[in-house]
Amino acid sequence: MELQLLVSWLLFSASLVWFLLLATKTKTKSKSQKAPSSTTNTTIPKSYPIFGSAFSLAANFHRRVQWTSDILQTIPSSTFVLHRPFGSRQVFTAQPAVVQHILKTNFPCYGKGFTFYQSINDLLGDGIFTVDGDAWKFQRQISSHEFNTKSLRKFVETVVDVELSDRLLPVLSEASLNQTTILDFQDILQRFTFDNICMIAFGYDPEYLLPSLPEAPFVKAFDESTRLSIERLNAVIPLLWKVKKVLNIGSERRLKEAVAEVRGLATKIVRDKKKVLGEKSALESVDLLSRFLNSGHSDESFVVDIVISFILAGRDTTSAALTWFFWLLSKHTHVENEILKEITGKSETVGYDEVKDMVYTHAALCESMRLYPPVAVDTKLAAHEDVLPDGTLVKKGWRVTYHVYAMGRSEKIWGPDWAEFRPERWLSRDEVGKWSFIGIDYYRYPVFQAGPRVCIGKEMAFLQMKRVVAGIMGRFRVVPAMDEGIEPEYTAHITSLMKGGFPVKIEMRSHS
């Protein structure tokens, strides 16, 4: 009887999705022939009984980040309520005062919540990005030890430098010798950051960035898992994926297989580390995984969740930021020249103190992430009824999403030149021409979140990115290998990507 009921729901959901797609197919097809500026409906989507704004959601699902961003730009309050099917509601905002309210002022009301947990749990389990309360506090407290000054210096001077000099630069050097060679620079950077985070956090070297650019089933499975997990969260009709999960069909079957691959490697990392620690009489290793295993938590599944969460944080966000940074750099010669001035005169390896002193490069990275944030949106769930600073009523169980991508494109926040890639907006110059960095309110620029859940890996990420920029730019020029006038497409799963990769040629830089 229960199976019959599930099948009935599946057929109903499938029919509904077919109806939605059919209703929007003609409209979408006719619009696709027009200029990009005319394809976007920037009004709040119309809502219908039962279905809510499902028609608009289905029509814009492939570009939901840009679509909701465009809507927010046209609303004076920079906040609107989206009506999802069956009475569900989701608040979208690009208003700094509202962001401060949900991330700090009324922080206890806005946790990750059950909706997010249910969608992401198969992949991330009870890791730091899915849980609230004491479980989150514990993981954050243990993790914070990894981000003190001593650990950061070790990270730059050992892990990053070795990976850069022994793996990344030789790969680029080889590519520069043959101008017919085209690299997917996004893939190269993901390989680099994957090796980095595994080494610093787990003391494990996956050897993913090698001259042969080896295939890694784990990485393919990880990408598939994050994509399918976030599609769950954004599903027009969540019931559909839940039924598919029970029946183990379609995307849910693929997700189950991909997650098994991911958790398989993570489990191996944990077991190997346990074995190493068991053979030592004292804690010699200070990597993050060793700290968790020596904190009294022997639950293997829990520690595996932590491993997967840190791979997500350390690999995907940093590589995404660097991918868009190098693309923007290729279009702005004056920024490239300023960074080269900053690099000139530093030692070839650019040590910890020199990296920290790269002020203009720091500003350029901030500016790049303003336009192309590694995480496009972040969603919370209201634990009880609340009223936002702009007067928007939020009821218990509503999703509240602050839109990082939209905030970076807001004229209200950044002024009429918001579309310009201008690192100088983050800087001031003294009488002798030396740059100094001007920090901007986290609630206007929540790229690293803000409030109690602000990213503890922020400084490590900047150190890594600046070291990579100095290492690459000091020797090479990264030249996009795209047709003239083609703009890469920003797409977002849990983290953002350049859709289709970033094809480039590598040119040796002349020092004459």
* Calpha distance 443→103 (Å, rounded): 9
Residue 455, annotated ligand binder?
Answer: yes
Helices (H), 344-416: 352-356, 359-371, 404-408, 411-414
Q: Where are the beta strands (DSSP E) in 15-101?
A: 79-83, 89-93
* Calpha distance 425→437 (Å, rounded): 9
Q: Which residue in this structure is represented by tokens 């849910």?
A: 252
- H or E element that contains 265: helix 250-278
* Calpha distance 415→73 (Å, rounded): 13
Structure-token pair, residue 486: 């083609």
* Calpha distance 68→338 (Å, rounded): 35
* Calpha distance 380→383 (Å, rounded): 9
* Calpha distance 318→188 (Å, rounded): 12
CA distance to 23, 72, 94, per residue, from 43 (Å): 19, 9, 15
DSSP lists the bridge partners of residue 184 as: 503
Helices (H), 145-237: 149-154, 161-163, 169-176, 185-202, 217-233
* Calpha distance 296→61 (Å, rounded): 44
Specify whether the backbone of 418 is left (phi greater than 0), alpha (psi in -120 to 50) or beta: alpha
CA distance from start to end of the chain? 79
Binding-site entries for heme = 455
Binding-site entries = 455
